[in-house]
A and B are shown apart, each in its own frame.
Chain A
Amino acid sequence: MAQHFHRSMNTVAKVSIFGAVFIIGFGAWLLLEINRSSNVTNVGLALPQPVQFSHQHHVAGLGIECRYCHTSVENSAFANVPPISTCMNCHQQIWFGAPMLEPVRVSWKSGQALEWNRVHNLGDYVYFNHGIHVQKGIGCVSCHGRVDQMQLIYKDQPHTMEWCLNCHRNPAQYIRPRDQVFNMTWKPEDIGETQASLGARLVKEYNIESPRKLTSCSTCHH
C-alpha cells in the first residue's frame, strides 16, 4: 500500500514533538516578558496633563511636602489628587495670571473640575489602601520612584501583581522608619544600618504581618 506520508515525516514528527515543549515554553516566556515590559506596564511613560504640573519644581524646588496636597494618604485608601482650592492657595498670588495656569483658574472660577489623566491605576478588582502602607513604613519613593525629580509624572514601577508580591513576600526588604516615609532621598546608610538588619527590626516593631497573611488573596481582592 502506498504510504501517505514521506519517510522524512518521521523525523519531522519527532523533532516537532520534542521541540514543541521548547517552542511552547519559549512562547509562554515571551508572553510573560512582554507583559512585564514597559510597553504594557507603561513604566516611564509620562502622560500629558491638562496643566503641566511639575512635581520636581514644587517638591524639590519649593520644598512642599507630599501631604500638603495629598492629604488623605495617611488615613484613607486613596491618596487624593488635591482640589483646585489647594492650588489656588498659592496661585491666587503666585504666578497669578500665568498662561500655563489658565486651566486652573478657569476651573476655580467655573466650578468645573479639572480632569487629570491617570498615571497610576490598578484594576477595579484590586483594593489597595494607601493609608496602611504609609503608616507601616513604606516610603512613597518605593512605589512611585523619585517623584521629586519628575517634571511630568510617569510610572516608575510596573505595579503588576508580581511586583506587589515581591514586597509582600519580604517586607523587610523595603520597610523604612515611619518618619522617613515621605523622604525621597533616605537610605538605610543614613542611620548607619543595612536594609537587612533595619528591615528585620522594623518588621517586628511595626507588627507587620507574616508573608502568609500578606499574600492571602483576600488582602487585596474582595
Chain B
Amino acid sequence: MTDHSARSSVSPMPTTPQPEPAHWRGIERLLADPEAQAALVEAFPRQASLLGDALDRRHFLKIMGASFGLAGLTACSAYPDDGKIVPYVKAPEEIVPGKPLFYASTFSMGEQVIGVLVESHMGRPTKIEGNPDHPASLGATDALTQAALLTLYDPDRSQTTRYYGDARPYEMFLRDLRKALDRHRADQGAGLRILTETVVSPALGFQLQRVLAAFPKAKWVQYEPCGRNLARAGAKLAFGRYVASQYRFEAADVVVALDADFLAAGPGHVRYAQDFSRRRRARFGQDATKQMSRLYMVECTLTSTGTVADHRIAVRPSELIEIANAIAVGLGIATGRPAQPPAAHAKFVETVVKDLQAHAGKSLFLVGDYQPAALHFLAHAINAKLGNVGQTLFYTDTPEVAPTDQEAEFRQLVAEMHAGAVETLIILGGNPAYTAPADVDFAGGLQKVKLAAHLSLYFDETSAHCHWHIPASHFLECWGDARAHDGTVSVQQPLIAPLYRETKSPLELLAAFLEEFNQSSEEIVRNFWQRNLAQLKSGKAFTPSVSGPVRIGRNAVGLQDEFEKQWRRTLHDGYLAGSAFTPVEVQLTGALAEAMATLPKPAPSGFEVVFRPDPMIYDGRFANNGWLQETPKPRSKLTWDNAVIVSPRTGAELGVVRKHDTEPYPVVEVEVGGRRVRGAALIVPGHPDNTLTMHLGYGRERAGSVGNGAGFNANLLRTAENLWMASGAKVSQTGETTRLACTQMHWEIEAAGAFRRRQLVREATLTEYLSDPQFARTEFDDPKARKLTLFEPPDDYTQGYAWGMVVDLNVCTGCQACVVACTAENNIPIVGKAEVLREREMHWIRIDQYYAGDPNDPNLALHLQPVMCQHCEMAPCELVCPVAATTHSPEGINEMTYNRCVGTKYCANNCPYKVRRFNFLHYSDYDTPVLKLGRNPDVTVRTRGVMEKCTYCIQRINAARIEAEKEDRRILDGEVITACQAVCPTQAIIFGDINDPNSQVAQLRKEPTNYGLLAELNVRPRTTYLAKVRNVHPDLVPARQAASSHSGHGGPSGDNHPDNSTPATTTGSHASGH
C-alpha cells in the first residue's frame, strides 16, 4: 500500500508559531501569513469583496430616485382599500378559520420513509412536523423532509402535460399510450418497460404487479441512484436472500461505524438518531451516564456521525477496507485476506477489537450504504460473531416491495434500449438521464424508444429527452402509502387538492394501463388496503395476489364497517398499528472470503475519490429547493455549490490553499479513467488525506431557476467500477478561480484570545466528568456571582413564565434540520449565492463548527454548537436601538417589532453572538402568488431594511398562552415546542418555562454541565448549553495529542497525558480555580 503521506515533498500547511487557540474555525486564519492578516483583519474583509462591483453614486441615486418617486403614490386611492373578506360558500366542517389543523401523512424519498404531521392553515399546508406516534421516526424529521414543503409551492414545478416540450392535454397522452398498449397486448408486453425509483409503497407495488400480470413479458425496473443497492447486495451475499437490518442503538454499548452516517442519512436515520442519543446524555447522578455508549467512526469522507463520535479517524477508502478487514481478522473471522491495517491506525484497530469483544452482544458494527457489498457481508459476519443478532440487531424482510440488484437491472434496461428492444418506456419519478453514471447512456437510449413518457415534478433532463412529460403530484397533493424501514405501513394522504389540475400521481398513471381511468388514487389505496389489511399487519413483506377484482362491492356491509374504522384510525394516527416487521432467522453463507476477494485494489498512484449524494440536495432532486441550497452542508458548510473537497495537507500539495478566507477558490480539474470534470477545490479540515470528495446532485441544467448552473456534475466521472469510490485520479490546476459561498467563517463570535475561545464549546471525557462534574463551570456561570450592574432589568422574572432554552451539545449531530425547520416556520427568505458570499444569509439559527488540534491531522476533533438568539436578560441589542424596535418582554423574550425597525443595524453590531439578521435587500418574494400559499400566517413577512432574529417561536408561545388563558390554567411543559426543538432527531434543543421547577428545561439548567455562552459579559442569556462529554477509550489517546508536536493545548477535552491525574478543566491556566 503506497503511503501517500510520505511521498510528497511539499510541506504540509504551516502552523503559526504562537500558541494557537484551542478551537478554531478558519484554516486560513491559522496560516502565518502576517501580511494578509494585517492588511485585511481590520477592514471588514468580507465587505472588501464588494469594492469590485460597487454601484457608482450617480447610478445609485438614479435607482433610489425612481423608487422614491413611486413610493408615495400607493397611498392615494379613491376608496380606502383594506382589501376584501372572502368567506366560504359552504364552510368545511372541521375548519375554524384562524386555527391550524394537523393531518398525518407520510413523506417518502426513495427508501427513506418518515411519518409526518402537516400543519394546515385554511386548507394550505404550511409546515411539516414529525409524527410522534410513528414508530419509524417518533416525531423527528430531517432537513430534507422539512424542505419538501417548498417543493409543493415551487413556481418552477411542471404544471402541464408536454409532448416534445409543448403543452398538450393529458388525454392525448392517454391516446398514445392506449395505442402502444394495444400493440403490447399482442406480444404480451415484450417491449414494455416501466422504470421507477425504489418502491416501498405496497399499493404502488401492487399496481405494478397487476400491470405485469396483464403484460407478462413486460419488465419493471427500479433505479434509485443513491439507494441501498450495495447494502442489499451485501445481504444477499451474506444470507442468500434479501433482508433488512434493524438496529437497536439504545441497547448498544459500543458502536463501530465504517463510513456509516447512520445519524444523518439512510432509511430510519431519524429513529436511529433518537435511539442512539438516548445513550449519550450525560446527566448528573444517573447510571445511564456511567453507561454512556461509545462510538468509533472510520470515515472516508465527511459525515455528520463523525462529529459525534468519541473516536474518529478519517482514512482513504482503500484504507477503510483494510481496517474493516483487520477488525474482522482481529475478531477471529476468516476473511481470506491478511490483516494489514495502515500503521498509523493499528492501535485504533486493536482497541476497537478489544472493545467489541468486551461488549459482545451489546455492540454494533455498521458499514455505510455506499461501501462495497463485500464489506456489508463482512459486517454481517462480525455482528454474528459478536452475538449481536437478536440483541442490538435483527433481520427482517425488506420494506422494498421487490428488492433486486438495481444497478445491474438498470444497465440491462439501457442495453435493451440501445438494442432497440424497448418500445414503450414509462418512467415514474426519478431523473435517470441526469443521475445515471457516465458509462450508462440513458439519454441516448431514449432516442431508440418509440414511446417514452416521464412522470416528474419538474420538466427535467429526463423529460427533455422523452416524448411525453406528465407533471407529477407532490406528496402533499395525492394519496399513497409507504412502508418504513421497520416495516410500519402508513398512508400518505393529501393536504391540498393538486395545485395544478393536470398533475398525476404514479397510482393514477398506472391505472391508465389497466383501463381503470376513473379510479382516483384514494380509491386505489383504499381498495388495496381493504383487501390486504390483514397481511399489512402480518409483520412480513408480502406479494398480494393479483387475481380477482380490486373493487370491494359497496354491499359488503360488515366488511366495510370494520375496515372503515381501521382506515380512519390509520389516517388519524398516521400509521397502521402492529405492522412493523417481525424478525426473521437467517444463516450466514460461507462465501465471505470469495466476496472479499472481489474488493477493488486501489491504483498505485493518484488520489482516491469518494462520490456521495449531497447532504442537502441528495441525488439532485432538491436542486431547485432554495431552502436546501442555502442551508450550509454539514462539515463543509458550503452552500449553493458542490466542490472538490480535500484535506488541508492534500490542499497544500495541490497548491490550492488560499492566503485569506476572503480570496476566491482555485478551480481544479479532476480526471478519473479518462473522464474530466472541473470544480472549485475546498479545503475542509478533518477530511482524509489524498482523497477527494465530490457530492452528486449539482451541475444540473434543467433543475429550475434556483438550481440551474449551480456546481458541477460529478456523475460524469462515475462508471460501473467507480460508482462510489475511485482511485488513480489526477488533479490539476486550471488557473481559474471562482467564489464559493462557504459559511464556515460567517458570524464568528469574536472571541479574541485563547481563554475566550475555549469557553465557547466546553468538553471533557467521561472519566473527567465523573470525577469533576463541574468542569464546565466558571465563576461566571454561578448565578449568585452575578456582577453588579447599574441597570437591573425592570421586571421580576421570578413571577409568571420565564422562557428559556437548553441546547445539549452532546447529541447535536449538525444535521441542519433545525435550520430548515426554523426557515419554514418563520418565513425566512433565501438570499441567493451572491448575498451569502456577503455573509447575508438569513438563517436565525446556525450551527457553528469548531476544530481543535493540528489542521494537518485528519483525525482532529470537531465541535458543533447551534447558536440562535440567546434572549439575554441584559441584552446589549436592546440598549442601542434608537426606536425601541427591540424590547424585552416581562417573560424574558427579546422581542423584535419589525414594523418599528428603521434599519440602523446597531443592534446587530452590539450582539456578541452575531445572531441578528438584517434584510439588506428585499429578500422576501412578495410577488409570486404560489409562494404566498406556503407562508406561515402567524409570522410577519419582513421587507427590506428590517432586522430579524430568533424569537423563541413567540407565535407558538402566544398561541399556547391564549389557549391556556381561555381555559384558565397555566401553560404546561411541552405545550410550547419551538420549531427547532420539534424537528431535532436527537432532541438536542429543549425549550420551556424555567420558572416551572418540574419542566425539562429547569431540570437541565441544574445540570453541572450547564453553562452560558459568553456569560462573562453579564448579558445573562436565557439559552444555555450542556457541555460535551466524550466517552473515550482509555487506551486511545486522541490522535491530535500524539501527532502534534507543539505545546499542550490539545483543547479542553485533553486526555492530556494518560498519566495526568489532575482532572482537566476548561482552561489550562485555571486548573487551580474552583
* New contact pairs (10) apart from A85-B88, A125-B897, CB-CB < 8 Å: A84-B88, A114-B86, A121-B83, A131-B962, A135-B965, A207-B965, A207-B968, A216-B891, A218-B893, A222-B939
Which residues 855-891 in B have Cβ within 8 Å of A in the complex? 887, 889-891
Q: Which residues on the A side are within 8 Å of B79 (C-beta)?
A: 47
Q: Which residues on the A side are within 8 Å of B14 (C-beta)?
A: none
Indicate whether B178 reaches chain A with its CB closer than 8 angstroms: no
Q: Which residues on the A side are within 8 Å of B938 (C-beta)?
A: 127, 222
Known: A121-B82, A127-B955. A218 touches B889 (CB 8 A): yes
Instruction: Tell whether, in the assembled complex, residue A83 and residue B89 are in contact, meaning their CB atoms are under 8 Å apart.
Output: yes
Indicate whether A64 reaches chain B with its CB closer than 8 angstroms: no
Give per-residue flags for B60-95: 1 if the beta carbon is below 8 A from chain A beta carbons, else 0. Answer: 000000000000000000011011111111110000
Give the number of chain B interface residues (Cβ < 8 Å): 40
3 nearest A-B residue pairs (beta carbon) = A76-B98, A121-B82, A77-B98
Instruction: Tell whether, in the assembled complex, residue B98 and residue A42 are in contact, meaning their CB atoms are under 8 Å apart.
Output: no
Indicate whether A221 reaches chain B with its CB closer than 8 angstroms: yes
- Pairs A–B under 8 Å by Cβ, sample size 10: A72-B98, A82-B87, A84-B88, A114-B86, A116-B85, A121-B83, A125-B898, A136-B965, A218-B889, A221-B895
Which residues 116-135 in A have Cβ within 8 Å of B in the complex? 116-121, 123-125, 127, 129, 131-132, 135
Indicate whether B951 reaches chain A with its CB closer than 8 angstroms: yes
Known: A72-B97, A78-B97, A127-B955. A217 touches B889 (CB 8 A): yes
Complex Cα–Cα for A47 and B81 (A): 10
- Chain A nearest CB: distance from B405 CB in Å? 53
Give per-residue flags for A106-119: 1 if the beta carbon is below 8 A from chain B beta carbons, else 0. Answer: 01100111111111
Give per-residue flags for B940-958: 1 if the beta carbon is below 8 A from chain A beta carbons, else 0. Answer: 1100000000010011001
Indicate whether A194 reaches chain B with its CB closer than 8 angstroms: no
Instruction: Tell whether, in the assembled complex, residue B951 and residue A107 are in contact, meaning their CB atoms are under 8 Å apart.
Output: no
Q: Which residue of A lies closest to B956 (CB)?
A: A222
Instruction: Tell whether, in the assembled complex, residue A118 and residue B87 are in contact, meaning their CB atoms are under 8 Å apart.
Output: no
The contact of A80 among B89, B97, B893, by CB within 8 Å, is B97
- Chain A nearest CB: distance from B230 CB in Å? 48
Q: Which residue of B lies closest to A75 (CB)?
A: B96
Indicate whether B179 reaches chain A with its CB closer than 8 angstroms: no
The contact of A115 among B82, B84, B891, B897, by CB within 8 Å, is B84
Indicate whether A212 reaches chain B with its CB closer than 8 angstroms: yes
Q: Which residues on the A side are within 8 Å of B939 (C-beta)?
A: 222
Q: Which residues on the B side are within 8 Å of A80 (C-beta)?
A: 87, 97-98
Indicate whether B795 reaches chain A with its CB closer than 8 angstroms: yes
Instruction: Tell whether, in the assembled complex, residue A83 and residue B84 are in contact, meaning their CB atoms are under 8 Å apart.
Output: no
Indicate whether B738 reaches chain A with its CB closer than 8 angstroms: no
Q: Which residues on the B side are within 8 Å of A135 (C-beta)?
A: 965-966
Q: Which residue of A lies closest to B87 (CB)?
A: A81
Known: A75-B96, A132-B966, A135-B966. A222 touches B899 (CB 8 A): no
Q: Which residues on the B side are within 8 Å of A42 (C-beta)?
A: 80
- Chain A nearest CB: distance from B892 CB in Å? 11
Known: A42-B80, A47-B79, A115-B84. A107 touches B965 (CB 8 A): no
Q: Which residues on the A side are within 8 Å of B955 (C-beta)?
A: 127, 222
Indicate whether A45 reaches chain B with its CB closer than 8 angstroms: yes
Q: Which residues on the A side are within 8 Å of B898 (C-beta)?
A: 125, 221
Contacts from A to B (Cβ < 8 Å): 42, 45, 47, 72, 75-78, 80-85, 107-108, 111-121, 123-125, 127, 129, 131-132, 135-136, 207, 210, 212-213, 216-219, 221-222
Instruction: Tell whether, in the assembled complex, residue A216 and residue B895 are in contact, meaning their CB atoms are under 8 Å apart.
Output: yes
- Chain B nearest CB: distance from A35 CB in Å? 12
A-B contact count (CB 8 A): 126
Instruction: Tell whether, in the assembled complex, residue A85 and residue B90 are in contact, meaning their CB atoms are under 8 Å apart.
Output: yes
Q: Which residues on the A side are within 8 Å of B673 (C-beta)?
A: none
Instruction: Tell whether, in the assembled complex, residue B889 and residue A125 are in contact, meaning their CB atoms are under 8 Å apart.
Output: no
Instruction: Tell whether, in the assembled complex, residue B966 and residue A85 are in contact, meaning their CB atoms are under 8 Å apart.
Output: no
Q: Which residue of A lies closest to B946 (CB)?
A: A125
Indicate whether B1034 reaches chain A with its CB closer than 8 angstroms: no
Indicate whether B590 reaches chain A with its CB closer than 8 angstroms: no
Instruction: Tell whether, in the assembled complex, residue B84 and residue A117 are in contact, meaning their CB atoms are under 8 Å apart.
Output: yes
The contact of B87 among A114, A119, A207, by CB within 8 Å, is A114
Complex Cα–Cα for A121 and B80 (A): 11
Complex Cα–Cα for A72 and B122 (A): 13
Known: A82-B87, A112-B89, A216-B890. A125 touches B962 (CB 8 A): no
Known: A129-B962, A218-B889, A222-B939. A76 touches B89 (CB 8 A): no
Complex Cα–Cα for A135 and B955 (A): 20
Instruction: Tell whether, in the assembled complex, residue A212 and residue B958 are in contact, meaning their CB atoms are under 8 Å apart.
Output: no
Complex Cα–Cα for A112 and B86 (A): 10
Q: Which residues on the B side are within 8 Å of A111 (C-beta)?
A: 89
Complex Cα–Cα for A113 and B90 (A): 9
Q: Which residues on the B side are within 8 Å of A207 (C-beta)?
A: 965, 968
Indicate whether B332 reaches chain A with its CB closer than 8 angstroms: no
Complex Cα–Cα for A107 and B89 (A): 7
Which residues 748-803 in B have Cβ within 8 Å of A in the complex? 795, 800
Instruction: Tell whether, in the assembled complex, residue A123 and residue B98 are in contact, meaning their CB atoms are under 8 Å apart.
Output: no
Indicate whether B99 reaches chain A with its CB closer than 8 angstroms: yes
Instruction: Tell whether, in the assembled complex, residue B958 and residue A118 are in contact, meaning their CB atoms are under 8 Å apart.
Output: no
Complex Cα–Cα for A219 and B87 (A): 27
- Chain B nearest CB: distance from A144 CB in Å? 15
Q: Which residues on the B side are within 8 Å of A119 (C-beta)?
A: 82
Instruction: Tell whether, in the assembled complex, residue A218 and residue B91 are in contact, meaning their CB atoms are under 8 Å apart.
Output: no
The contact of A76 among B82, B91, B97, B900, by CB within 8 Å, is B97
Instruction: Tell whether, in the assembled complex, residue A81 and residue B800 are in contact, meaning their CB atoms are under 8 Å apart.
Output: no
- Chain B nearest CB: distance from A192 CB in Å? 26
Instruction: Tell whether, in the assembled complex, residue A127 and residue B82 are in contact, meaning their CB atoms are under 8 Å apart.
Output: no
Q: Which residue of A lies closest to B801 (CB)?
A: A213
Known: A83-B91, A218-B958. A113 touches B895 (CB 8 A): no
Q: Which residue of B lies closest to A214 (CB)?
A: B890
Q: Which residues on the B side are within 8 Å of A125 (C-beta)?
A: 897-899, 940
Q: Which residues on the B side are within 8 Å of A213 (C-beta)?
A: 800, 889-891
Q: Which residues on the B side are within 8 Å of A113 (C-beta)?
A: 86-89
Q: Which residues on the A side are within 8 Å of B80 (C-beta)?
A: 42, 45, 47
Which residues 325-360 in B have Cβ within 8 Å of A in the complex? none
